[in-house]
């Protein structure tokens, strides 16, 4: 979960315009995510319920911090950041709602927030996976733009539009397919 720890550091470095260092740390965060996923997929004894719960949360935290920081640094437009974060907040709210509906009574805070007591699993849609990849490509391209002097590039502007479209499509896919994207693991309620 190095991404959770790196998120505020990256945010600070971006706001202070240390783009060379932030680009390197972002690459490190990506490498640790890939390694973490590889280990979890290939060694069953290394996969944990807590890790499964924290992995998507780490992604949301990292994406949110990066988009806000890059917007502050004038490298990503504010409306795009608002769209990305709004979609993530809506997804988190939906997960909390599903969690509330699937935890058997009596619902206590310790039971509700216990990641070892899984009641439902959100299955990402294909467009959501594509969207995450595009959002990360935009972050990398935005971090690299002041380093390689292409901040006013048409390439970046095209990535903004593509990111907005995939973010909207991803949010719509969860709304449209709703229950098909949620697998209830313990239907006792």
* Residue range 27-47, pLDDT digits in tens: 988 888 788 778 777 877 666
Least confident range of 17-26, 45-54, 157-166: 45-54
Structural domain contains residue 123: yes
Structural domain contains residue 67: yes
- Name beta bridge partners: 121: 183
Number of domains comprising the chain: 1
**Of residues 1, 112, 110, the one with CA closest to residue 50:** 1
Which residues in 142-177 are b (16+ Cβ under 10 Å) and which e?
bbbbbeeeeeeeeebeebbebbbebbeebbebbeee
The confidence band for 20, taking pLDDT boundaries of 50, 70 and 90, is very high
Structural domain contains residue 71: yes
**DSSP conformational letter for 142:** H
Structural domain contains residue 189: no
**Of residues 10, 32, 31, the one with CA closest to residue 22:** 10
Rounded to an integer, what distance in angstroms lies between the CA atom of residue 69 and that of residue 13?
9
Rounded to an integer, what distance in angstroms lies between the CA atom of residue 25 and that of residue 36?
16
The confidence band for 26, taking pLDDT boundaries of 50, 70 and 90, is very high
What are the backbone dihedrals phi and psi of residue 48, each rounded to the nearest 5 degrees, phi first?
A: -130, 155
**Of residues 188, 77, 177, 75, the one with CA closest to residue 124:** 177
Structural domain contains residue 156: yes
Kindly report, residue by residue over 56-91, the tens digit of the pLDDT.
788 889 999 999 999 999 999 999 999 999 999 998
Which residues in 91-104 are b (16+ Cβ under 10 Å) and which e?
beebbeebbeebbe
Structural domain contains residue 80: yes
Q: Which domain holds residue 164?
A: 2-184
**Of residues 67, 50, 48, the one with CA closest to residue 132:** 67
């Amino acid at each position: 979960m190095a991404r959770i720890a790196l998120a505020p550091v990256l945010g600070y470095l971006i706001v202070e315009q240390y783009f060379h260092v932030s680009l390197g740390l972002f690459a490190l965060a990506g490498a640790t995510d890939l390694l973490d996923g590889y280990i979890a997929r290939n060694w069953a004894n290394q996969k944990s319920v807590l890790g499964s719960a924290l992995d998507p949360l780490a992604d949301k935290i990292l994406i949110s911090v990066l988009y806000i920081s890059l917007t502050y640094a004038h490298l990503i437009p504010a409306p795009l950041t608002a769209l990305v974060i709004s979609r993530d907040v809506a997804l988190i709210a939906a997960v909390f709602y599903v969690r509330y509906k699937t935890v058997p009574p009596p619902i206590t805070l310790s039971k509700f927030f216990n990641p070892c007591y899984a009641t439902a699993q959100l299955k990402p849609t294909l467009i959501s996976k594509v969207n995450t990849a595009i959002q990360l490509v935009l972050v990398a391209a935005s971090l690299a733009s002041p380093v390689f002097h292409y901040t006013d590039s048409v390439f970046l502007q095209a990535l903004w539009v593509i990111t907005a479209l995939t973010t909207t499509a991803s949010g719509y896919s969860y709304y449209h397919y709703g229950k098909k994207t949620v697998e209830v693991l313990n239907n006792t309620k």
